[in-house]
Structure 1
């Protein structure tokens, strides 16, 4: 949709329009184009969920960035027209309706939010005034009158301000089980912007994306003990607090013990590898900590281990006997030494092992099945390597996090992946009313939590599971966990198997035994051995080097021939798994596109490794996207061929065709 609207822009501004529709998730692009049509600024909302009801889409100056064009001055000072575009992410079809486009000049953005002024319905006494809830010291508390059930706390920011949400520290006992957050700009018309119905107290994180108001009201409607409310601190957060789905978790990572959240919430990269079947379009990821992303842009399953250790509790006097008790220890990826491996050091069957002085936990993943009917198999082994009995619980947490980090954003943005609903249904866990987690090994317990009840790991660390087995979350940040109890003598181990179908149905027989899974595992292993061990390598033997020879070149040459061969074999498997159908592509997530440049060079490598059919299929498929005028597209993805010119794409295709002929002598194909 294009509208001509020439405009010179003030120092700060905002645009808005209303939108509703029935459409699948795709990219919503808002573009501002200059008079020549060459320079474009945009606000690109990837994987946008189109609202069924009328919703206001607000766009501020800070949202708009330079997209492309020849200009050297990338600051947007004026534009000639507006374009609103739906760009394919998941594809499909539908419709949207737009209305009421507005432009508003805004005041310059202030340096920081002002200190609010607080008022409350009641205060218990002079030592617990409402001002104490905003002084930044959680030891100083506001407490309401103990007899009143409904209370209100109002914050006045002095003028209309933009902010990103709230962080509320509650009294340990007298917290609000249910409350509302309301905002307004004139103290008359209050809008309800957030509602919590089953809080557990502690610290509440309230993300309010693009909030704008002068007044913020907390309406407290149910106290935990019916004896009023206590608040240690209310912090009004800057816009960045909720600017992206990951933003609130960055804040939580500062408060939670390290290891409770994935590494990228600590701004650290975690390495990962892939699991999938040949010729399929679905793949899983497992990172170096043992967290498994079960499908593209999907949720993850992550292990946590609780151990019970004997402790001594003293009686009230020395004459009383000492009573045995148990101390609980909760372990995350941060608390253990970790080791990663591939089966036979080269097959695409990865494992991650947690090593603790008294126990060892291993997670292995592999994928099996025909293309478009495949499934992911996860096997966990927990072994007692100590000289005494161990007991505790292995938890498998299901959380709205991808393995792919948020800074990987091309095509499939990483980071948070929404879980709007999760429930137990017999021996299955159903996520978002679609994706199934099949418990081959029945669990000993299952619990789910909304975001407002805290991440599931906070319950696990406390030694409990939420009582509810089904939740829906208004933010899409629900989490849950399967519990598997263990009692292991020295040398004993416990095995847990889980299957996640990549597609709607599991194409196999249920129930399935561990023995049957191992039979499937052997079939997968043998397939990949035959698929990647296609040529014989003859390399010179490794000679020992003197200290004076340890230059970078010599160091590279000092890798054993066996390791070099295994590296080649592994990467051949990764190339085949990363393919979507016939399309050769360099990755499964951010680089899930088929470039003719990459495809031609990869094809040359595959041919030298004896892989012929897959190269022919790729060339046959890619050639079908050649334009009517003979132009060869630089890249093809879900949206089809990209019209952006790449002047050597023709030569790259011809190079690949010639390479194929040299190794196949297939004149009929040419």
Structure 2
């Protein structure tokens, strides 16, 4: 093993002290009692003690997320002072190929910075894992400002596609920055043959070269003079004299060697190899074969540690040599606009960008289109783009003087319930002359989401270890990734060293290979369809991407397909601003349903576990309010099915949510029966001697629970409190439960209203404007934007919940004993036209209302399904002139101090509007 090791204190291997910067072990992971283990909802995790890298003890996090995305973390107090340029090094092993690992540092004020590593870097043997502080970011993706003092360290394991994962750690160390890190490399070359020319490989000149003798298998080595941080190596071959097959090895002492890369079938005259980060003094190329009888090397250029610090950094550096548009915005720095499309049973939502790129499986691949016009390939960056979002679908329009390309995406389920993303590419010729076209779909090892955010998704590079491209089908990492209705006219696959698919498309001849493997996970492929179109001609191609979990993916195009319905369809709010709010409502509800399996923690949550649990409750409330009971019932059953909880805030929330489901007739008879043990246990906690009796929310929670009781149910006696339900257990026997949960109301304009007092005209306007303030006026509804260094537009499901709650506040607001109607509809909106709310779920049932102008009257019609609250319904007069009597089902109803009280819900309410 290289002396990229940390000294005997860290990994039990002696290191050259003179060659390495000072290393200080700050945590040994040998005392599990110091660590607090927490998991997201629906997950299970355990901390186990195992044998460490240095013969002592270490900790292993074992997590099982089932079929749901989730995360686990363990944290401990760890006072630290870190200097700029330092890095953390942990000794790690495990099995977490589909997970993301992150290390986060928290100061005394709760501010956090952190970095990410891919779980696939872990192996069965202990190895160093580097965390460069220069790569750390804050929660928004900004370059991190190093806190003066660290008080706590947190280690996160996130599984965007669920499943099981293990991460073992031993000895976290701090290594001071290398004062000579920026010093240029001055290597000495050593070759087996033509030794008189060997220093030409390191002279930095393009007009000199080393040419070997005619021996196929020979070695070229570099001595860096001392142990250095190395990130990679550039190998510049002489034309026609490259090696087709060779290995790269490294050593710290010239005796023990570690193989870093094996290169086969590379193309071009320059190989850009990511090797690190590692510490080594010697690099060696074992040349095995090539097209010529000898080899020629112009230059061997070692690269600094930053070159290989991460796949994203490596690709961004290498991508500087590529044509514009080859690197996606997630790696080039943005900007990026996207929306999400969900389907029942999908592993994760599909991401669809304004450029027409698609990602359906977290951390795997993205699908990107290119268009060729008369032999010239064009990408989205060379087009005028017009993205659209509508009723459960999204479109990207490419506009060019000689072509129009519409990319339409919709998600849904086939006849067997399997989730799919359907993509249609419609090409038309707007020109008066005919043109030759080609549409290419490149499957690339990139994600749409950028790297650098603290959370459950690292973003940036994806992972394609193997790819198989056939005319009508592509497999990625052994599973069906794409099915085409019309077989492609050409297809190929390539590993990274041979070239990325989008670069190879521009070559004089396409590769003939259809299968490729890449140990770096950077393989790619492309399908190409060709068509000549006369003036005003058009052509459409269709492909399908499965969104199901592994083992449930079909290899046949669906015979039946039901597109996902749009939540909130049928809503109408007055005026152009009202239309924008309706689209925002639909997009926010759609995003919550897409990003969450119900309110379960999903892959892009940027919050800690405890905050994630709070988010789940807020999202459940918003989904219920939006009449999405089916999305909440499975989550709620899972939460309360295991019994009650000692957390009174959490119990109160469960009670209110369960009662709201009951009001919507969302519980089946069997589910109601299953709820009874939890119901009786929970009611007992609100009895005078119960654990939650003194809580402020106790009366409301008890009433909510009482609504779930069958008729004539006897009272329950108080019982002693019980331990909370365990979410994770450490091997010390200590309970490790989710972070304390406090229900935090959404920040909406409802704060301006005082219970029991009429809503003023100013307050009406504030509620309306408060909902509008939740929107991004620089983006169409349903779309989000990411720009490096900014968090603007980064909506997640929690923010979507806040949007829903703010818009719902316009229509209704619940008080303890009554329901306010239309408290956020300002006077101008009453005159602007129609109002239609198909369903807004309250604790008294579903509110459905339609409003319209009839001459000088405003007519409100209410749908059945809402029970009158104890104190009835209240409507405050929305104008500054005195009201005339209203008509409820043909009967006159007087206003009292500008307020209309309705003891029962009328079928129709008619209001006479004042003159302008």
TM-score range (shorter-chain normalised) is 0.7 to 0.9
**Residues 494-514 of structure 1: CA deviation (Å, up to 9, x unaligned):** 2211111111478889456xx
2:307 to 219, 233, 241: 241
Check the 8 A contact 1:14/1:60 in 2, yes or no.
yes
Ranges in structure 1 where 5+ consecutive residues have no aligned partner: 309-327, 540-559
Partner of 2:271: 204
Deviation of residue 622 (structure 1)?
Answer: 8.8
Ranges in structure 2 where 5+ consecutive residues have no aligned partner: 1-27, 32-56, 58-77, 140-144, 655-726, 729-735, 748-800, 806-812, 817-840, 847-864, 871-916
Partner of 2:484: 439
Partner of 2:249: 182
Secondary structure of residue in 2 paired with 1:264: helix
2:393 to 337, 349, 367: 349
Larger mean Cα displacement after TM superposition, 157-166 or 112-121: 112-121
Bigger RCO of structures 1 and 2 (CA < 8 A, at least 6 apart): 2
Check the 8 A contact 2:227/2:252 in 1, yes or no.
yes
Equivalent residues in 2 for 1:176-575, closer than 5 Å: 176-231=243-298, 233-277=299-343, 282-308=348-374, 328-342=375-389, 346-369=390-413, 373-424=418-469, 427-503=472-548, 504=550, 510=556, 520=561, 524=563, 527-528=565-566, 531-539=567-575, 560-561=576-577, 563-564=579-580, 567-568=583-584, 570-572=586-588, 574-575=590-591
Equivalent residues in 2 for 1:123-202, closer than 5 Å: 129-137=197-205, 139-145=206-212, 147-202=214-269
**Residues 56-99 of structure 1: CA deviation (Å, up to 9, x unaligned):** 1344775897999xxx99457999xx998867665544667778
Deviation of residue 467 (structure 1)?
Answer: 1.7
For 2:351 and 2:137, the matched residues in 1 are separated by 33
Secondary structure of residue in 1 paired with 2:334: coil
Judged with a 3 Å threshold, the aligned counterparts in structure 2 of structure 1 residues 130 and 425 are, in CA distance, closer, same or farther, namely: same
Check the 8 A contact 2:359/2:367 in 1, yes or no.
yes
Judged with a 3 Å threshold, the aligned counterparts in structure 2 of structure 1 residues 170 and 620 are, in CA distance, closer, same or farther, namely: same
Check the 8 A contact 2:425/2:541 in 1, yes or no.
yes
For 2:554 and 2:104, the matched residues in 1 are separated by 48
Judged with a 3 Å threshold, the aligned counterparts in structure 2 of structure 1 residues 78 and 433 are, in CA distance, closer, same or farther, namely: same
Secondary structure of residue in 2 paired with 1:404: coil
2:646 to 628, 644, 653: 628
Check the 8 A contact 1:118/1:156 in 2, yes or no.
yes
Indicate whether 1:589 and 2:589 are aligned. Answer: no
For 1:260 and 1:285, the matched residues in 2 are separated by 19
Check the 8 A contact 1:352/1:363 in 2, yes or no.
yes
For 2:115 and 2:653, the matched residues in 1 are separated by 21
**Residues 467-517 of structure 1: CA deviation (Å, up to 9, x unaligned):** 2211211011111111112222222222211111111478889456xxx78
For 2:447 and 2:401, the matched residues in 1 are separated by 30
For 1:413 and 1:222, the matched residues in 2 are separated by 38
Judged with a 3 Å threshold, the aligned counterparts in structure 2 of structure 1 residues 533 and 164 are, in CA distance, closer, same or farther, namely: same
Secondary structure of residue in 2 paired with 1:464: coil
TM-score by length of 2: 0.57
Partner of 1:556: none
Check the 8 A contact 2:363/2:463 in 1, yes or no.
no
For 2:325 and 2:256, the matched residues in 1 are separated by 43
For 1:447 and 1:666, the matched residues in 2 are separated by 60
Judged with a 3 Å threshold, the aligned counterparts in structure 2 of structure 1 residues 145 and 245 are, in CA distance, closer, same or farther, namely: closer
Larger mean Cα displacement after TM superposition, 24-33 or 259-268: 24-33
For 1:433 and 1:48, the matched residues in 2 are separated by 19
Check the 8 A contact 1:32/1:42 in 2, yes or no.
yes
Indicate whether 1:115 and 2:131 are aligned. Answer: no
TM-score by length of 1: 0.75
Count of residue pairs the alignment pairs up: 600
Partner of 1:53: 124
Indicate whether 1:3 and 2:48 are aligned. Answer: no
Partner of 1:553: none
Check the 8 A contact 2:101/2:155 in 1, yes or no.
yes
Check the 8 A contact 2:438/2:528 in 1, yes or no.
yes
Deviation of residue 368 (structure 1)?
Answer: 1.3
Deviation of residue 116 (structure 1)?
Answer: 1.8
Secondary structure of residue in 2 paired with 1:483: strand
Deviation of residue 661 (structure 1)?
Answer: 1.0
Deviation of residue 169 (structure 1)?
Answer: 2.8
Secondary structure of residue in 2 paired with 1:3: coil
For 1:615 and 1:473, the matched residues in 2 are separated by 40
RMSD, aligned CA:
4.7
Deviation of residue 210 (structure 1)?
Answer: 2.0
**Residues 540-568 of structure 1: CA deviation (Å, up to 9, x unaligned):** xxxxxxxxxxxxxxxxxxxx457526634
For 2:254 and 2:464, the matched residues in 1 are separated by 35
Check the 8 A contact 1:395/1:481 in 2, yes or no.
yes
Deviation of residue 251 (structure 1)?
Answer: 0.8
For 1:264 and 1:497, the matched residues in 2 are separated by 26
For 1:612 and 1:32, the matched residues in 2 are separated by 38
Judged with a 3 Å threshold, the aligned counterparts in structure 2 of structure 1 residues 436 and 651 are, in CA distance, closer, same or farther, namely: closer
Deviation of residue 160 (structure 1)?
Answer: 0.4
**Residues 304-347 of structure 1: CA deviation (Å, up to 9, x unaligned):** 12233xxxxxxxxxxxxxxxxxxx312112222222123xxx32
For 1:88 and 1:443, the matched residues in 2 are separated by 34
For 1:360 and 1:163, the matched residues in 2 are separated by 47
Deviation of residue 414 (structure 1)?
Answer: 1.2
Deviation of residue 187 (structure 1)?
Answer: 2.6
